[in-house]
Structure 1
Amino acid sequence: MLMTKPRQYQPQLPDFLSLCERNYARLNRLLPAHFAAGLQWHIAINPQQHYQLSVLECGPFTTRLQIELIAPDQPVLSSNFVTPSFDVQLYHDAQLAEVVRVARQRKFAARYPYPNPQMMQPDEKRQINQLLSDWLKLCVAQGYSAAAVELKQ
Protein backbone atom coordinates (compact mmCIF):
# COMPACT_ATOMS: atom_id res chain seq x y z
CA MET A 1 0.00 0.00 0.00
CA LEU A 2 1.41 3.34 -1.05
CA MET A 3 1.00 6.15 1.53
CA THR A 4 0.97 9.66 0.13
CA LYS A 5 0.67 12.99 1.86
CA PRO A 6 -2.65 14.76 1.41
CA ARG A 7 -2.37 17.56 -1.12
CA GLN A 8 -2.09 20.99 0.39
CA TYR A 9 -4.55 23.66 -0.72
CA GLN A 10 -3.00 25.99 -3.30
CA PRO A 11 -4.73 29.35 -3.79
CA GLN A 12 -5.59 30.08 -7.41
CA LEU A 13 -4.93 33.80 -7.84
CA PRO A 14 -6.77 34.21 -11.19
CA ASP A 15 -9.84 32.50 -9.71
CA PHE A 16 -9.74 34.67 -6.57
CA LEU A 17 -9.30 37.89 -8.56
CA SER A 18 -12.20 36.92 -10.81
CA LEU A 19 -14.39 36.41 -7.73
CA CYS A 20 -13.36 39.83 -6.38
CA GLU A 21 -14.09 41.46 -9.78
CA ARG A 22 -17.59 39.94 -9.85
CA ASN A 23 -18.19 41.10 -6.27
CA TYR A 24 -17.13 44.63 -7.21
CA ALA A 25 -19.50 44.70 -10.19
CA ARG A 26 -22.44 43.35 -8.15
CA LEU A 27 -21.74 45.65 -5.21
CA ASN A 28 -21.77 48.67 -7.51
CA ARG A 29 -25.44 47.85 -8.26
CA LEU A 30 -26.21 48.41 -4.56
CA LEU A 31 -24.23 51.61 -4.16
CA PRO A 32 -25.76 55.04 -4.73
CA ALA A 33 -24.25 57.05 -7.59
CA HIS A 34 -22.40 59.35 -5.17
CA PHE A 35 -21.36 58.34 -1.69
CA ALA A 36 -18.99 59.50 1.02
CA ALA A 37 -17.80 58.36 4.44
CA GLY A 38 -20.66 58.41 6.93
CA LEU A 39 -23.37 57.49 4.44
CA GLN A 40 -25.54 54.49 5.21
CA TRP A 41 -28.53 52.77 3.65
CA HIS A 42 -30.64 49.70 4.22
CA ILE A 43 -31.40 46.72 2.03
CA ALA A 44 -34.49 44.68 2.82
CA ILE A 45 -34.19 41.15 1.46
CA ASN A 46 -37.45 40.12 3.15
CA PRO A 47 -39.35 41.23 6.27
CA GLN A 48 -36.94 39.34 8.56
CA GLN A 49 -33.69 40.19 6.81
CA HIS A 50 -32.57 43.80 6.78
CA TYR A 51 -28.99 44.78 6.19
CA GLN A 52 -27.33 48.09 6.84
CA LEU A 53 -24.53 49.20 4.54
CA SER A 54 -22.28 51.90 5.92
CA VAL A 55 -19.41 53.71 4.22
CA LEU A 56 -16.63 53.64 6.81
CA GLU A 57 -13.83 55.21 4.77
CA CYS A 58 -13.74 56.77 1.35
CA GLY A 59 -10.57 57.67 -0.52
CA PRO A 60 -9.72 58.42 -4.14
CA PHE A 61 -8.83 54.79 -4.92
CA THR A 62 -10.45 52.77 -2.12
CA THR A 63 -13.66 52.62 -0.12
CA ARG A 64 -14.38 50.51 2.93
CA LEU A 65 -17.97 49.40 3.56
CA GLN A 66 -19.52 47.60 6.48
CA ILE A 67 -22.41 45.23 5.78
CA GLU A 68 -24.30 44.27 8.91
CA LEU A 69 -27.46 42.27 9.58
CA ILE A 70 -29.91 44.32 11.62
CA ALA A 71 -32.56 42.32 13.40
CA PRO A 72 -34.43 44.60 15.81
CA ASP A 73 -36.96 41.90 16.72
CA GLN A 74 -34.31 39.36 17.70
CA PRO A 75 -33.33 39.29 21.39
CA VAL A 76 -29.64 39.27 22.19
CA LEU A 77 -28.91 35.87 23.70
CA SER A 78 -25.65 36.71 25.45
CA SER A 79 -23.07 39.43 25.77
CA ASN A 80 -20.78 37.33 23.53
CA PHE A 81 -23.29 37.48 20.67
CA VAL A 82 -21.79 39.21 17.63
CA THR A 83 -24.10 40.64 15.01
CA PRO A 84 -23.25 39.06 11.65
CA SER A 85 -21.24 41.66 9.74
CA PHE A 86 -18.31 42.05 7.45
CA ASP A 87 -16.16 44.85 6.07
CA VAL A 88 -15.48 45.02 2.36
CA GLN A 89 -12.62 46.96 0.83
CA LEU A 90 -13.32 48.28 -2.67
CA TYR A 91 -10.30 48.98 -4.86
CA HIS A 92 -11.67 51.32 -7.53
CA ASP A 93 -8.57 51.42 -9.73
CA ALA A 94 -8.42 47.60 -9.98
CA GLN A 95 -12.24 47.20 -9.74
CA LEU A 96 -11.99 44.59 -6.97
CA ALA A 97 -14.01 44.08 -3.77
CA GLU A 98 -12.43 41.98 -1.02
CA VAL A 99 -13.75 41.02 2.41
CA VAL A 100 -11.21 42.26 4.98
CA ARG A 101 -13.11 41.54 8.23
CA VAL A 102 -15.80 39.13 9.35
CA ALA A 103 -17.28 39.57 12.85
CA ARG A 104 -14.16 39.81 15.01
CA GLN A 105 -11.67 38.25 12.59
CA ARG A 106 -9.40 40.50 10.54
CA LYS A 107 -6.64 39.85 8.02
CA PHE A 108 -7.11 36.49 6.44
CA ALA A 109 -4.21 34.47 5.12
CA ALA A 110 -4.40 33.13 1.58
CA ARG A 111 -3.90 29.60 2.97
CA TYR A 112 -4.11 28.03 6.40
CA PRO A 113 -2.54 24.76 7.52
CA TYR A 114 -5.14 22.27 8.65
CA PRO A 115 -5.83 21.58 11.43
CA ASN A 116 -4.97 24.88 13.11
CA PRO A 117 -5.82 26.40 16.52
CA GLN A 118 -8.54 28.70 15.07
CA MET A 119 -9.98 25.85 12.98
CA MET A 120 -9.84 27.98 9.83
CA GLN A 121 -10.43 26.14 6.59
CA PRO A 122 -7.41 25.97 4.26
CA ASP A 123 -9.30 28.23 1.80
CA GLU A 124 -10.98 30.47 4.43
CA LYS A 125 -10.21 33.70 2.56
CA ARG A 126 -11.84 32.43 -0.62
CA GLN A 127 -14.85 31.10 1.29
CA ILE A 128 -15.63 34.43 2.96
CA ASN A 129 -15.39 36.21 -0.39
CA GLN A 130 -17.68 33.56 -1.86
CA LEU A 131 -20.11 34.33 1.00
CA LEU A 132 -20.13 37.98 -0.12
CA SER A 133 -20.75 36.82 -3.69
CA ASP A 134 -23.70 34.66 -2.61
CA TRP A 135 -25.16 37.53 -0.56
CA LEU A 136 -24.85 39.93 -3.49
CA LYS A 137 -26.56 37.41 -5.81
CA LEU A 138 -29.39 37.14 -3.28
CA CYS A 139 -29.79 40.92 -3.17
CA VAL A 140 -30.07 41.10 -6.94
CA ALA A 141 -32.40 38.09 -7.18
CA GLN A 142 -34.73 39.42 -4.47
CA GLY A 143 -34.97 42.87 -6.04
CA TYR A 144 -33.32 44.72 -3.15
CA SER A 145 -34.57 48.08 -1.96
CA ALA A 146 -32.05 50.72 -0.94
CA ALA A 147 -32.64 54.11 0.64
CA ALA A 148 -29.67 56.37 1.42
CA VAL A 149 -29.58 58.22 4.73
CA GLU A 150 -26.88 60.35 6.34
CA LEU A 151 -25.34 58.99 9.51
CA LYS A 152 -25.84 61.11 12.61
CA GLN A 153 -22.53 61.98 14.23
Structure 2
Amino acid sequence: MTAKPKYRPKLPDFLSLCERNFAQLSPLLPAERVVGERQLIGVDDASYFRLELLEVCPFTTVLRIAPLAATAMDAEQDWPALQPAFDVRLYHDARLAEVISCHGRRGLKAVYDYPNTEMLQPDEKRQVNRLLGDWLRLCRQQGFRPEPVLN
Protein backbone atom coordinates (compact mmCIF):
# COMPACT_ATOMS: atom_id res chain seq x y z
CA MET A 1 0.00 0.00 0.00
CA THR A 2 1.45 3.37 -0.98
CA ALA A 3 1.18 6.41 1.25
CA LYS A 4 -1.01 9.26 0.08
CA PRO A 5 1.16 12.25 -0.92
CA LYS A 6 1.13 15.19 1.51
CA TYR A 7 -1.14 18.08 0.52
CA ARG A 8 0.72 21.01 -1.02
CA PRO A 9 -1.17 24.25 -1.55
CA LYS A 10 -1.22 25.70 -5.05
CA LEU A 11 -0.71 29.44 -4.60
CA PRO A 12 -2.07 30.51 -8.04
CA ASP A 13 -5.31 28.57 -7.40
CA PHE A 14 -5.69 30.07 -3.92
CA LEU A 15 -5.06 33.61 -5.18
CA SER A 16 -7.62 33.08 -7.96
CA LEU A 17 -10.18 31.99 -5.35
CA CYS A 18 -9.42 35.09 -3.24
CA GLU A 19 -9.76 37.33 -6.32
CA ARG A 20 -13.19 35.87 -7.13
CA ASN A 21 -14.30 36.32 -3.51
CA PHE A 22 -13.17 39.98 -3.58
CA ALA A 23 -15.12 40.61 -6.80
CA GLN A 24 -18.28 39.05 -5.38
CA LEU A 25 -17.95 40.67 -1.94
CA SER A 26 -17.28 44.23 -3.14
CA PRO A 27 -20.92 45.01 -4.13
CA LEU A 28 -22.07 43.98 -0.64
CA LEU A 29 -19.87 46.46 1.24
CA PRO A 30 -21.50 49.41 2.98
CA ALA A 31 -21.18 52.72 1.15
CA GLU A 32 -19.60 54.32 4.23
CA ARG A 33 -16.28 52.64 5.01
CA VAL A 34 -16.20 53.39 8.74
CA VAL A 35 -15.45 50.97 11.58
CA GLY A 36 -18.73 49.71 13.02
CA GLU A 37 -20.71 50.37 9.83
CA ARG A 38 -23.18 47.57 9.18
CA GLN A 39 -25.00 46.24 6.16
CA LEU A 40 -27.87 43.76 6.24
CA ILE A 41 -27.83 41.11 3.51
CA GLY A 42 -31.14 39.43 2.73
CA VAL A 43 -30.50 36.17 0.88
CA ASP A 44 -34.18 35.20 0.82
CA ASP A 45 -37.28 36.08 2.84
CA ALA A 46 -36.05 34.11 5.88
CA SER A 47 -32.23 34.31 5.71
CA TYR A 48 -30.38 37.45 6.72
CA PHE A 49 -26.72 38.07 7.39
CA ARG A 50 -25.06 41.11 8.95
CA LEU A 51 -21.90 42.44 7.37
CA GLU A 52 -19.97 44.64 9.81
CA LEU A 53 -16.73 46.53 9.26
CA LEU A 54 -14.30 45.71 12.07
CA GLU A 55 -11.17 47.46 10.84
CA VAL A 56 -10.62 50.02 8.09
CA CYS A 57 -7.09 50.90 6.95
CA PRO A 58 -5.79 52.53 3.76
CA PHE A 59 -5.02 49.21 2.02
CA THR A 60 -7.05 46.66 3.98
CA THR A 61 -10.47 46.21 5.52
CA VAL A 62 -11.57 43.51 7.95
CA LEU A 63 -15.24 42.63 8.04
CA ARG A 64 -17.44 40.09 9.76
CA ILE A 65 -20.24 38.23 8.02
CA ALA A 66 -22.59 36.65 10.56
CA PRO A 67 -26.06 35.12 10.32
CA LEU A 68 -29.06 36.66 12.01
CA ALA A 69 -31.91 34.62 13.46
CA ALA A 70 -35.04 34.99 11.34
CA THR A 71 -37.36 34.82 14.37
CA ALA A 72 -37.16 34.90 18.14
CA MET A 73 -37.67 31.12 18.12
CA ASP A 74 -34.63 30.68 15.87
CA ALA A 75 -32.56 32.77 18.29
CA GLU A 76 -33.62 30.52 21.18
CA GLN A 77 -32.72 27.40 19.20
CA ASP A 78 -29.23 28.71 18.39
CA TRP A 79 -30.01 28.73 14.65
CA PRO A 80 -27.13 31.10 13.76
CA ALA A 81 -24.57 28.65 15.18
CA LEU A 82 -25.41 26.29 12.32
CA GLN A 83 -24.73 28.91 9.65
CA PRO A 84 -21.31 30.07 8.44
CA ALA A 85 -19.77 33.09 10.16
CA PHE A 86 -16.65 34.62 8.61
CA ASP A 87 -14.08 37.29 9.37
CA VAL A 88 -12.61 38.38 6.05
CA ARG A 89 -9.64 40.63 5.29
CA LEU A 90 -9.89 42.57 2.03
CA TYR A 91 -6.64 43.64 0.39
CA HIS A 92 -7.76 46.57 -1.76
CA ASP A 93 -4.50 47.08 -3.66
CA ALA A 94 -4.24 43.39 -4.63
CA ARG A 95 -8.05 42.99 -4.93
CA LEU A 96 -8.08 39.86 -2.73
CA ALA A 97 -10.47 38.70 0.01
CA GLU A 98 -9.14 36.09 2.46
CA VAL A 99 -11.02 34.39 5.29
CA ILE A 100 -9.05 34.96 8.49
CA SER A 101 -11.60 33.36 10.82
CA CYS A 102 -14.46 30.93 10.34
CA HIS A 103 -16.84 29.90 13.15
CA GLY A 104 -14.47 31.61 15.60
CA ARG A 105 -11.37 29.64 14.51
CA ARG A 106 -8.60 32.18 13.92
CA GLY A 107 -5.12 31.83 12.49
CA LEU A 108 -5.87 29.27 9.80
CA LYS A 109 -2.71 27.57 8.56
CA ALA A 110 -2.14 26.81 4.88
CA VAL A 111 -1.53 23.10 5.62
CA TYR A 112 -2.54 20.90 8.55
CA ASP A 113 -1.09 17.49 9.36
CA TYR A 114 -3.66 14.78 8.98
CA PRO A 115 -5.01 13.18 11.05
CA ASN A 116 -5.01 15.81 13.79
CA THR A 117 -6.78 16.19 17.13
CA GLU A 118 -9.08 18.97 15.86
CA MET A 119 -10.18 16.94 12.80
CA LEU A 120 -9.22 19.73 10.41
CA GLN A 121 -8.67 18.92 6.75
CA PRO A 122 -5.13 19.28 5.35
CA ASP A 123 -6.47 22.12 3.14
CA GLU A 124 -8.76 23.71 5.77
CA LYS A 125 -7.81 27.30 4.80
CA ARG A 126 -8.69 26.65 1.16
CA GLN A 127 -11.93 24.94 2.20
CA VAL A 128 -13.20 27.91 4.28
CA ASN A 129 -12.34 30.32 1.45
CA ARG A 130 -14.29 28.06 -0.94
CA LEU A 131 -17.18 28.08 1.56
CA LEU A 132 -17.17 31.89 1.47
CA GLY A 133 -17.16 31.76 -2.34
CA ASP A 134 -20.11 29.35 -2.32
CA TRP A 135 -22.02 31.60 0.09
CA LEU A 136 -21.34 34.67 -2.06
CA ARG A 137 -22.47 32.78 -5.16
CA LEU A 138 -25.69 31.79 -3.34
CA CYS A 139 -26.29 35.45 -2.44
CA ARG A 140 -25.91 36.44 -6.08
CA GLN A 141 -28.13 33.62 -7.37
CA GLN A 142 -30.86 34.35 -4.82
CA GLY A 143 -30.87 38.04 -5.72
CA PHE A 144 -29.38 39.34 -2.46
CA ARG A 145 -30.70 42.61 -1.12
CA PRO A 146 -28.16 44.84 0.64
CA GLU A 147 -30.10 46.96 3.14
CA PRO A 148 -28.63 49.53 5.52
CA VAL A 149 -28.96 48.75 9.22
CA LEU A 150 -30.56 51.50 11.22
CA ASN A 151 -28.69 51.93 14.51
Q: State the Cα deviation string for residues 36-57 of structure 1 (Å, max 9, x = none).
A: 2111011111122100000111
Q: State the Cα deviation string for residues 125-148 of structure 1 (Å, max 9, x = none).
A: 000000000111111111111122
Identity, % of aligned pairs? 48
Give the whole-Å Cα distance in 2 for the aligned partners of 1:82 and 1:45. Answer: 16
Q: Which of 51, 62, 65 lines up with 2:63 in the alignment?
A: 65
Contact 2:46 2:70 in 1 (8 A): no
Q: Which of 13, 16, 25 lines up with 2:14 in the alignment?
A: 16
Moved more, 18-27 or 67-76: 67-76
Question: What is the one-letter code of the residue matched to 1:130?
Answer: R
| TM-score (norm: length of structure 2) | 0.90
Matches within 5 A, 1:82-121: 84-121=84-121
> What's the CA shift for 1:6?
1.2
From the two aligned structures, give the one with the greater helix fraction. Answer: 2
Contact 2:53 2:62 in 1 (8 A): yes
RMSD, aligned α-carbons: 1.7
Contact 2:8 2:111 in 1 (8 A): yes
> What's the CA shift for 1:99?
0.4
User: Secondary structure, in 3 states, of the residue corresponding to 1:46?
Assistant: coil
Question: What is the one-letter code of the residue matched to 2:92?
Answer: H
> What's the CA shift for 1:77?
4.0
Contact 1:111 1:123 in 2 (8 A): yes
Where do 5+ consecutive residues of structure 2 fail to align?
A: none
Equivalenced residue count is 147
Question: What is the one-letter code of the residue matched to 1:118?
Answer: E
Give the whole-Å Cα distance in 2 for the aligned partners of 1:144 and 1:75. Answer: 22
Contact 1:39 1:148 in 2 (8 A): no
Give the whole-Å Cα distance in 1 for the aligned partners of 2:42 and 2:30. Answer: 16
> What's the CA shift for 1:82?
7.4
